[in-house]
Amino acid sequence: MNRSRERLFSLPFLLTLALAASLTSCGTDAPLETPRIQGCVEGTFTPYFGVLHAHTAYSDGSLTPAEAFDHGRYEGELDILVITDHLELLHLPVPPFPPVDMKWQRCREQADAAYDPGRFLADCGFEYSSGFTEPWILFNSSGHNNVFFSDHLFPMIMLDFREFYRLLAECEPCIGQFDHPGRYADHWNEFEYFPEVDEKMNLFEFNDRGPVWDLFFKALDKGWHLSPQLNQDNHSPDWGTRDDRRSGLFMTELTRMAMHEAMRNRRTFMTYDQNASIKMKAFDRCWMGSILSGRMPQTISIEVEAWDPDPGDGWSELEIYGPGGELLDRFDCDGTQACRNVFTFDARAATYFVARATQTDGDWLVAAPVWIYPE
């Protein structure tokens, strides 16, 4: 070995390299502070508007699914209509309509005929109903739930809503919704939490401006990860024309597959205005509905944007709420047609953030939360 090479690998030189490496990996915190966020759902999405809770004469409503789809598309100007007739009545023959087990199949056939990808999304789900509140039952089993994307009907009678949860969890494509919480004392044993059901029970229906707002936070605080919807629950032939209530879904395109992805990732909102939308992102890229974990920046940015294409429909304010329904911050929109603001919070300010936008006429919209679980 020549002397220049010998000096290169001398003991002092090697000790210097070791010390430099030590300082690089442990002597500063910079590499350890680099954000490493998991669960961030990114993408470009378009808002579509629909009614995802409606009935026909196949249970306790009017006319046929085909007539409902036609009315919803051309009279109600809906992008999406999902017929969710009552499960127990789908199992019963109702003359002159199809016999047992045929109504479900007929509904799906009529949905397939009305489905026009890119222009109109028609589909069939069903509504599970349980109203058992008798004293001899040790818990309150009362609750109604919509089930979407099932390829089969659940059993006609399930005395225990936990049996319904078990079937929902076992159904690979299924997505569930809490229907009209607070109505008929529906609260699913005070929103008792089941982790194994959480990834399938993704949607929460706002049926009223009253206690349902508080019930939403009650469910979130129990551990459920839920995304808002608002539907008409039609029992008469007024699909889409009954009022301006809509469920909004941010989707890549107007297809069933895209709707399933939006529901699965909880990228929905509720609106009392038929074409107003609200979207929320964390860190300028993680869409509402994202369940974020990992190493977070010390400051969380929450971007909220509300928009209404109708001239004259302005915005009053944007609000951000946290656990327990606590108001964390607000922004005055001053009546503008579009309203946007970026809110900033400490990384450990809340485990979730909910955005609400209010229009100057009093209508309001609620976006899906973003959940933050920092290391």
- The rounded Cα 66 to chain-centroid distance in angstroms is 27
- 261/314 same-domain check: no
Co-location of 253 and 367 in the same domain: no
Cβ 270 vs Cβ 229: under 8 Å: yes
Boundary (domain end) residue, out of 230, 259, 275? 275
Q: Are 368 and 279 in contact (CB under 8 A)?
A: no
- Is position 5 within any domain? no
Q: Are residues 289 and 302 in the same domain?
A: yes
240 and 331 both lie in a single domain: no
* pLDDT tens, position by position, 306-352: 999 998 899 999 999 999 999 999 999 999 999 999 999 998 899 99
| Angle, helices 65-74/102-114, rounded to nearest 10 degrees | 30
Whether residues 304 and 359 fall in one domain: yes
Query: In this structure, what CATH number is given to the domain that contains residue 250?
Result: 3.20.20.140
pLDDT at site 93: 72
Instruction: Flag whether pLDDT at 355 surpasses 90.
Output: yes
Within a domain: 123: yes
What number is the average pLDDT over the span 67-82? 98
The pLDDT score that the predictor gives to residue 163 is 87
- Of 275, 305, 321, which marks where a domain is finished? 275
- 77 within domain boundaries: yes
Q: What is the mean pLDDT of residues 60-76?
A: 97
**What's the CA gap between 275 and 248, in Å, rounded?**
9
Same domain, yes or no, for 183 and 330? Answer: no
What's the pLDDT score for residue 141? Answer: 55
Answer yes or no: is 4 within a domain. no
Is residue 29, in this structure, part of any structural domain at all?
no
Does the structure show a pLDDT above 60 at 65?
A: yes
- Residues 283, 300 contacting (CB under 8 angstroms): yes
Residues 284, 368 within the same domain: yes
In a domain, 266, yes or no: yes
Are residues 313 and 294 in contact, defined by beta-carbon separation less than 8 angstroms? no
Q: Which domain holds residue 65?
A: 44-275
Last residue of a domain, one of 255, 275, 295: 275
The total number of structural domains in the chain stands at 2
Closest CA to 107 of 75, 152, 73, 164: 152
What digits encode the pLDDT tens for the residues 103-118? 999 999 999 999 999 9
Instruction: Show Cβ contacts of residue 235 under 8 Å, excluding neighbours closer than 6 positions.
Output: 55, 60, 61, 62
Q: Are residues 170 and 199 in the same domain?
A: yes
Contact of 126 with 90, CB cutoff 8 Å: yes
Indicate whether 52 and 74 sit together in one domain.
yes
Q: Which of 270, 264, 294 is nearest to 282 (CA)?
A: 294
Which domain CATH number covers 354? 2.60.40.10
Answer yes or no: is 34 within a domain.
Answer: no
Residues 262 and 281 occupy one common structural domain: no
CB 94 within 8 A of CB 57: yes
Together in a domain, 348 and 221: no
Digit-coded pLDDT (tens) for 146-188: 999 999 999 887 777 888 999 999 999 999 999 999 887 778 8
Residue 308: inside a domain, yes or no? yes
> Which residues are within 8 A (CB) of 132 and not within 5 positions of it... i.e. 6 or more apart?
141, 142, 159
Q: What is the pLDDT of residues 193-239, one digit of tens each?
A: 999 999 999 999 998 766 899 999 999 999 999 999 999 999 999 99
d(CA 174, CA 168): 7
Same domain, 249 and 303: no
**Dist. CA 322–CA 216, nearest whole Å:** 11
